[in-house]
A = this chain, B = another copy of it.
Amino acid sequence: MAFETWFIAPLSALISILVGLYFLRYVNKQDSGTDRMKEISNLIRSGANAFIRREYTTLAVFVAVVSILMLIFLPSPVWQTWGTTDQWKNFQLALAYVFGSSCSALAGLLGLNVATKANAKVAQAAKSGLNRAFPVGFRGGAVMGLMVVGVGLFGISVVYWFTGDPSIILGYSFGASSLALFAKAGGGIFTKTADISADLVGKVELGLPEDDPRNPAVIADNVGDNVGDVAGMGADLFDSYVASIVAVMILGLALDSITGNANLFIQIPLVFAGFGILSSIIGALTVRVGKQGNPGNALNMGTYVTCIIFGVTTASATYYLGYDWRIWGAAIVGLSAGVIIGVTTDYFTSEDKAPVLKTAEASKSGPAINIITGFSYGLRSVLLPLIGIAIAAAVSFKLLEPLGQQYSATIPYAPLSFAVFGIAMASLGMLSIVGLTVSNDAYGPIVDNAKGVAEQAGLSEEVIAITDELDSAGNTAKAITKGFAIGAAGLTVIALLAAFQEIVRNETGTIISFDLMNPWVLLGALIGLAMPAVFSAMVMLGVGRNASRMIDEIRRQFREIPGLKEGKPGVRPDYNRCVDIATRGAIRELMPASVVAIVATLVIGFVCGIEALGGYLVGSIFSSLLLALLMANAGGLWDNAKKLIESGKYGGKGSDAHKAAVVGDTVGDPFKDTAGPSLNTLITVMSLIASLFAILIVNYNLLKLLGIQ
């Protein structure tokens, strides 16, 4: 073939980056409004930049230390490979690691940059109507979406181009993941510290409305939306996206060696990912809302359009490139499961369905019953997504398994290798449209901030109402994109588990088992079960501690600044101190939990061996799927129960029911925006560490040393 098919990936990625830059220019050209609006926007931007600068400085140290360690130890200790052809592998891996973390940081910075500018521009455009403001918000979000997939896939293509070795791409993926873990935890702690403190003192104690400029934490709260929900979320999905592609490539390489093809199965994920990006770009360009249109529907329509384009283009590719149709089938199974999970998840957080209605009603009996009810519905909500993931995994497994039958006489594990490649393709299918889902997700905090700017700058009621409508559209779209994120994370980690098994098989020849009747697997699984819980606890306790400090500060300002509470003209709170408390707290708290999780993974491996490590991954995957679903949905429904009451139901604003619902919402904040979403990244990081250290662990572990294993 004259044209290398895998070029589809880097080309699509470049187009994505270019369209992203075009959107960036589009947003930059918009008017930022009055001086007061610019001032507020500047406060938010400088707060966000200050935090990001400090966060990335801390992370740079971490990345430097890890890359030196990798240079020495991975994939093999340098003293073993010195002088052999493998001596450059350590260098390649460390370089890929630094490259991966840099790419993730770059995508995050670009997205954050436009998001912190777009807020005032959306508010200003809202003066000319909804259909003028909507594209500014959406395109602002799309910068993040297109950059995440563009930079991510381009980076993979570059590493693949230079090395042709998916085990080096693993290093790139690990770079992205470790950055995402810290960015997600740090941003999550920042945003919820500010949100909780602003709510508890402002709304509950003093009865101020949301985004009231008298509240000293209001700027910190807006900064939090950007560093948590834009930059953190972007890093998170960058990580999942890259990890899912790498998992398929590793499993594809195994198929290439089984079937004797050169570069067939390893390139399929790149081709599919390329078409996924092109579909997302077209989807993003078609998103628009008419004069009377509904922005929520517009966003969801974009998702469906993207799905259909992806289905059609990959079908054509399958036909022209002669891929087996079952592979396409697995990707479509994944994509469909994503949509179905999204729609069912929507049920638990919709304001007109039983869970939110009953939770809001329960608020009349006080905060405790609100918490019990919301938590219970959160527990119940895990069922359907888990069934969805389970069926998608089983179907894609059985779909591809028969392709391996013909090789099973000589290679007994061939059917299994094809089957797990199927699961990995399903996860890739789900994540293929991530360019668009991230765009929708980043749209949310931008228009939320626009509303904040409008409120603080004292714009007219009509303008505020338009930003409100834009904001609630973000929530509608979020349900479906969240379904994708959760489902994809579930399938991706299963694919990573299979990749881990494949790496061990490839290096040692033995197929490690995940059978729980193996005592080491059982041991690892039981301990793994605890890790996501411990990690969640650590970040949430961080939020709690940090919020306590900020609450004290807010109370102090209201006590000591004369005229602040009464809203005397010209009296302004000291916003910067709150931003500073959130920043310092987040930087201090973001490290321990992540480091504990990383170190625990290594300890299990180097003490109890590779089988225990496999069990450990299984245990943590199960535990984090359960906790992530519970936390995301419970948090979302508490939030909406509060909003329902604020809309006038069950007593309305200021009633006892409202106060109870605010307690529920506050509890839900770190659930849904700090701990819950970090768990996806956590298990990706753990799985990547396990894969990277697999060979070392097989050779050196305590139980083997003691002769027990």
Contact = CB atoms under 8 A, between A and B. Distances in A.
B515 A382 contact: no
A523 interface: yes
A544 B622 contact: no
12 contacts: A196-B369, A200-B365, A372-B667, A376-B536, A380-B537, A383-B527, A390-B524, A390-B526, A394-B522, A397-B522, A515-B515, A622-B622
Interface in A48-104: none
Interface stretch (A140-148, A293-301, A623-631): A623-631
Copies per complex of this chain: 2
A572 B574 CA distance: 56
Contact of A536 (B379, B490, B523, B662): B379
Nearest to A623: B626
Contacts of A543: 372
A14 to B, nearest CB: 37
Given A380-B538, A390-B524, 17 more contacts: A200-B366, A200-B368, A368-B667, A369-B547, A372-B666, A376-B536, A380-B533, A383-B531, A390-B527, A393-B523, A393-B526, A420-B517, A494-B522, A498-B517, A513-B515, A514-B517, A516-B618
Contacts of A372: 540, 543-544, 666-667, 670
A389 interface: yes
A534 B419 contact: no
B386 A530 contact: yes
A619 interface: yes
Contacts of A397: 519, 522
A430 to B, nearest CB: 15
A536 B511 CA distance: 38
Interface in A346-380: 358, 362, 364-369, 371-373, 375-380
A382 B534 CA distance: 8
CB-CB nearest 6 A-B residue pairs: A368-B666, A390-B526, A379-B537, A397-B519, A380-B537, A376-B537
A564 interface: no
Interface string A321-333: 0000000000000
Looking at A200, A369, A517, the one whose CB has the most chain B CB atoms below 10 A away is A517
A485 to B, nearest CB: 17
Interface size class of A (residues with CB under 8 A): 35 or more
A204 interface: yes
A501 interface: yes
B544 A376 contact: yes
Interface in A644-703: 662-663, 666-667, 670
Given A200-B366, A538-B380, A526 B663 contact: no
Contact of A365 (B375, B537, B548): B548
Contact of A529 (B398, B536, B626, B662): B626
A523 B391 contact: yes
A551 B365 contact: yes
A541 interface: yes
Contact of A383 (B394, B501, B514, B530): B530
B514 A516 contact: yes
A130 to B, nearest CB: 34
A637 interface: no
A387 interface: yes
A663 B368 CA distance: 5
A625 B529 CA distance: 9
Interface in A570-593: none
A526 B376 contact: no
A398 B548 contact: no
A520 interface: yes
Interface string A168-197: 000000000000000000000000000010
Given A368-B666, A622-B619, A667-B372, A529 B394 contact: no
Contact of A514 (B515, B523, B529): B515
A708 B501 CA distance: 26
Nearest to A550: B365
A356 B548 CA distance: 17
Nearest to A522: B393
Contacts of A204: 366
B708 A398 contact: yes
A447 to B, nearest CB: 26
B376 A540 contact: yes
Interface string A193-222: 000100010001000000000000000000
A526 B419 contact: no
A367 B204 CA distance: 11
Contacts of A520: 394
A662 B358 CA distance: 22
A618 to B, nearest CB: 6
A537 B384 CA distance: 14
Contact of A548 (B362, B494, B534): B362
B377 A537 contact: yes
Given A529-B622, A537-B377, A667-B371, A390 B523 contact: yes
A120 interface: no
A416 interface: yes
A335 interface: no
A289 B397 CA distance: 64
A525 interface: yes
Contacts of A517: 416, 420, 497-498, 501, 513-514
A365 B200 CA distance: 8
A419 B519 contact: yes
Contacts of A386: 526-527, 529-530
Nearest to A547: B369
A67 to B, nearest CB: 30
